Amino acid sequence: MHIHILGICGTLMGGIARLAREAGHEVSGSDANVYPPMSTQLAALGIDVKQGYLPRHLDPAPDCVIIGNALSRGNPAVEYVLDRGIDYTSGPQWLAEHILRGRWVLAVAGTHGKTTTSSMLAWIMEHAGLQPGFLIGGVPHNFGDTARLGADPFFVIEADEYDSAFFDKRSKFVHYRPRTAILNNLEFDHADIFADLAAIELQFHHFLRTVPASGLIVSNAQDEALGRVLKRGCWTPVETFGSDNGWAAGPDESDGGFDIFWRGERQGRLRWGQLGEHNRHNALAAIAAARHAGVTPGVAIEALGAFQGVKRRLEIRGTAHGVTVYDDFAHHPTAIATTIAGLRRSVGSARIIAVLEPRSNTMRLGVHQHTLGPSLAGADSTLLYAPPDLGWNLSGVAATLADKGLVFDSIDSIVAHLAQHARSGDHILIMSNGGFGGLHERVLEALRKQA
């Protein structure tokens, strides 16, 4: 089958392209933004990627067109597909029909931590010799790829609540039909498609309706919104984490590790290099889900001791002039606060300089403008980037941070400020769900010139 993917350079679509190629399909694609590393990764797989959404890219007609959810009516390629009657589908629907059917799907859902928890779970199963397939919205360092077909029956997937396509407004995860489902947490996000938290809770309720009675739901016991979702209707056994009557993590010990408990019984001690309370919860959820698939907690704990993390999750990009520069994907106030807290726990009283690009659709709508300032309070200083098309004023956020908050209208000015004010021993935490104009390398280069 010849598959053409519109929006192929997105993380999900790029992963689908890899899976389709591994499954033996001929794959091509188009995107408005074709550049490394995704373009080179796809080229290495023998996938032809075209720049732009030109109808001629679909001539001769492929057997099926997978349309990414960033595309809508009016796009010339979309209009051509509709006019010519070419078979089309969404990415989640294609996955459900061609990759996930007949497999034991382990789906990781939640506002935060999906990528890291999916990566942990896939690595645990790999360490146990199960060779799982996976599709993850990031690059786990233990694997180096966002997706692989793997061996039957297990498949780990990051389960997003965002809609599937312009013609299918159901959340992506409704298509996946997992046997094991993790519910990490639930907050208001994606304000461009959801009116309020209740609308998202409804989608999570629909998700739970797809999990069989012979399956397992692993849920965060401390999350009130998830509690409401479960009370609304649940037909599947539930194990919780973050509570004494479920999966729990003990306090940090002198050796840097902490004990893992299941219903009060010690399962082993985890020693690893990951930071923050959120990662302890991610680990508990992954251990519980892996146990459902047959991996003992002891083996799972051993695997997590060798877990190397995920790119763009508190990833050290380099050190120059004694200053360490980090890259993190955080773009929601809760994730921002958690990331800063995790770094603070690691660096102690050393100075943390937070640099934030409000790039997500929800951020651009200004939904989180009143909670953004408090989420940054744990940093010693904060640099806020105000792109020209932001649509709201960041000065209010800076004001809540008093003399610790500054607003910049260009990336050049941020680089210049950091080069002038950063000193040896500082930690610069750059947060964005995009490339941030190559800021990480530009800052490191500017610092090297100061040495």
Spatial distance between the Cα atoms of 80 and 88, rounded to a whole number of angstroms? 11
What mean pLDDT comes out for the span 3-32? 93
How would residue 451 be classed by pLDDT, with cut points 50, 70 and 90?
low
Q: Which of 347, 306, 363, 339 is nearest to 112 (CA)?
A: 339
Strand stretches in 82-215, DSSP E: 88-90, 104-109, 133-135, 147-148, 154-158, 163-165, 168-171, 180-183
Where in the chain do CATH 3.40.1190.10 domains reside? 102-304
> Tokens 């009657």 belong to which residue?
85
CA distance 330 to 132: 27
| pLDDT, position 390 | 81
Which range has the worst mean pLDDT, 24-28, 215-219, 263-267, 308-312?
A: 308-312
What's the pLDDT at 36? Answer: 62
% residues pLDDT > 90 (the chain): 67
Domain at 315-450: CATH architecture? Alpha-Beta Complex (3.90)
Give the pLDDT confidence of 390-439 residue by residue, as tens digits.
878 888 888 888 889 899 989 999 999 999 999 999 999 999 988 888 89
pLDDT at 37: 66
Q: How many CA atoms lie within 13 A of 31 on its CB side?
A: 24
pLDDT at site 362: 72
Domain spanning 102-304: which CATH class is it, in words? alpha beta
Given its phi and psi angles, is residue 7 left (phi above 0), alpha (psi -120 to 50 degrees) or beta? left
Q: What DSSP line would sit under 391-414, residue for residue? A: -S-THHHHHHTGGGEEEES-HHHH
Portions of the chain given CATH number 3.90.190.20: 315-450
**Taking phi first (over 0 means left), then psi (-120 to 50 degrees means alpha), and beta for anything else, what does residue 268 get?**
left
The per-residue pLDDT for 379 is 94
Q: Name the average pLDDT for the chain.
A: 91
pLDDT band at 312 (very low <50, low <70, confident <90, very high): confident
Sign of CA dihedral 288, 293, 295, 301: negative
Going by C-alpha positions, the residue among 130, 137, 90 that lies closest to residue 116 is: 137
Phi, psi of 293 (to 5 degrees): -90, 5
For residue 337, pLDDT beyond 80: yes
- In the block, tokens 């309020």 appear at 196
Under CATH, which number does the domain 2-91 receive? 3.40.50.720
pLDDT at 190: 77
pLDDT digits (tens, 9 = 90+) for 65-97: 999 999 999 999 999 999 999 999 999 999 999
Percent of the chain at pLDDT > 70 equals: 99
In the predicted structure, residue 359 carries a pLDDT above the cut 70 = yes
Give how far Cα 405 sits from Cα of 207, 217, 328, 377, 425, Å.
40, 42, 19, 9, 20
Q: Which residues pair with 429 in a beta bridge?
A: 326, 354
Give the residue among 450, 360, 445 at the shortest CA–CA distance from 411: 445
All CATH 3.40.50.720 domain ranges of the chain, comma separated, are: 2-91
Cα separation of 191 and 121, whole Å?
29
Per-residue pLDDT averaged across 124-138, rounded?
Answer: 95
Q: Residues 282-298, buried b or exposed e (16+ Cβ, 10 A)?
A: bbbbbbbbbbbbebebe
The 10 Å Cβ neighbour count of residue 166 is 17
Q: What is the mean pLDDT of residues 269-289?
A: 90
Where residue 120 falls among pLDDT bands split at 50, 70, 90? very high
For residues 166-186, average pLDDT: 95
Mean pLDDT score, 327-340: 85
Token pair of 212 as six digits:
């069989």
